[in-house]
């Protein structure tokens, strides 16, 4: 079968490898759509594992089921989670599913940028979701990133009417924007360094958008009744965005660190001010099976305008172009690879 083999952001090759063989409790999935995630182009993170077939935002069709699989059948249209929690460890039982060691060590074989993938027994047990008829394959590639967004907003106890500042208007920022809008947010503001993405944020319902080099804390107050925001969501690894978020959040508010910095980069936190004003700093990584279920339902109900976010649909032969588009963060939002084209 054909796969997209990652060597670095500028070198992703179409190569041949044997289709995976499944065993008891496993399923073979024919991949119809696979989204390129922003984390796929975090070169400092990915390069140490290269060469590797990446891709985890997948949707496809079950073409073979292993012995003992009775919840799914050949022909089922599915989304498959690549990382899944054990649901029994100390962290899972406390609700911290993404801190579970099992979640960090599970994956499917090879990756989503392939014609076929094997879902191991544990993934089949708790990470396979049959798609409703109303959800297309390309829409289903949003289940994983939307699930991550939902978890982040759930952790910070987002409430209708909250004012929101989103720093970074790539796909994660736009999903946060659309989700917050669907859940009844008050004023929503967004920043980026790219005019294409700022226009996308405006088109998706942002009340105000600004270039990230401007005085964001001051602009936030001007646009938000002379108040900082209830929730600042950082969706870019730029240190300047974290600093802007820390200076733009109101008393009792929260900074959601949805993105991360490069290793070794520290963020200066005004601890005394945060302590006196009960400002919270919350990181969020990944999602749980519950969040995937909610994401599927939101997609089914057409609550999130996903079609507006898709800018490129490419065959596997053009995966190198797809990676360059995402890595350059220019005139693209969501890039989807379709291995069966």
8 Å CB contact between 338 and 32: yes
Which of 2.70.70.10, 3.30.2420.10, 3.40.50.300, 3.90.180.10 is the CATH number of 2-147+287-338? 3.90.180.10
271 CB-side CA count, 13 A: 2
Query: Is pLDDT of 104 > 90?
Result: yes
pLDDT at 53: 98
pTM here?
0.96
Query: Is pLDDT of 111 > 90?
Result: yes
- C-alpha dihedral sign at 120, 124, 125, 129: positive
Query: What is the residue extent of each domain of the chain?
Result: 2-147+287-338, 157-283
Of residues 263 and 146, more confidence is placed in 146
Query: Is pLDDT of 45 > 90?
Result: no
Q: How confident is the model at residue 311 (pLDDT cuts 50, 70, 90)?
A: very high
pLDDT at 330: 87
d(CA 161, CA 154) in angstroms, rounded, equals: 15
Q: What is the pLDDT of residues 283-310, one digit of tens each?
A: 999 999 999 999 999 999 999 999 999 9
Q: How many other C-beta atoms are found inside a 10 Å radius of the C-beta of residue 126?
A: 16
Q: How confident is the model at residue 341 (pLDDT cuts 50, 70, 90)?
A: confident
8 Å CB contact between 69 and 26: yes
Two structure tokens written together for 207: 């009340």
Q: What is the pLDDT of residues 167-201, one digit of tens each?
A: 999 999 999 999 999 999 999 999 999 999 999 99
Percentage of the chain modeled with pLDDT above 90: 96
CATH 3.90.1330.10 fits 157-283, yes or no: no
User: What does the mean pLDDT of the chain come to?
Assistant: 96
Q: What is the pLDDT of residues 202-249, one digit of tens each?
A: 999 999 999 999 999 999 999 999 999 999 999 999 999 999 999 999
């Amino acid at each position: 079968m054909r796969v997209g083999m990652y060597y670095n952001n500028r070198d992703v090759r179409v190569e041949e490898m044997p289709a995976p063989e499944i065993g008891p409790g496993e399923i073979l999935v024919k991949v119809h759509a696979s989204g390129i995630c922003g984390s796929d182009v975090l070169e400092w993170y990915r390069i140490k594992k290269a060469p590797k077939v990446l891709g985890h935002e997948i949707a496809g069709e079950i073409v073979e089921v292993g012995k003992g699989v009775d919840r799914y059948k050949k022909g089922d249209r599915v989304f498959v989670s690549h990382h899944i929690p054990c649901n029994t460890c100390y962290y899972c039982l406390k609700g911290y599913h993404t801190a579970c060691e099992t979640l960090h060590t599970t994956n499917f074989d090879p990756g989503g940028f392939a014609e076929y993938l094997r879902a191991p027994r544990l993934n089949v047990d708790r990470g396979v979701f049959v798609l409703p008829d109303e959800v297309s394959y390309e829409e289903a590639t949003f289940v994983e990133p939307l699930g991550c967004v939902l978890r982040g907003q759930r952790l910070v106890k987002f409430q209708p009417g909250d004012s929101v500042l989103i720093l970074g208007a790539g796909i994660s920022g736009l999903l946060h924007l659309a989700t917050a809008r669907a859940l009844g947010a008050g004023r929503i503001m967004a920043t980026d360094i790219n005019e294409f993405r700022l226009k996308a944020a405006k088109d998706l319902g942002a009340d105000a958008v600004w270039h990230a080099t401007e005085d964001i804390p001051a602009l936030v107050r001007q646009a938000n009744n002379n108040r900082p925001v209830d929730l600042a969501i950082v969706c870019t690894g730029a240190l300047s965005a974290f600093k802007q978020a820390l200076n733009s959040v109101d008393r009792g508010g929260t900074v959601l660190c949805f993105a991360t910095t490069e290793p070794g980069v520290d963020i200066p936190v005004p601890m005394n001010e945060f302590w006196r004003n009960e400002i919270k700093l919350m990181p969020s990584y990944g999602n749980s099976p519950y969040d995937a279920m909610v994401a599927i339902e939101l997609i089914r109900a057409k609550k999130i305008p996903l079609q507006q976010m898709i800018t490129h649909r490419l065959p596997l032969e053009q995966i190198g172009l797809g990676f360059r588009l995402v890595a350059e963060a220019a005139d693209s939002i969501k890039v989807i690879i379709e291995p069966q084209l």
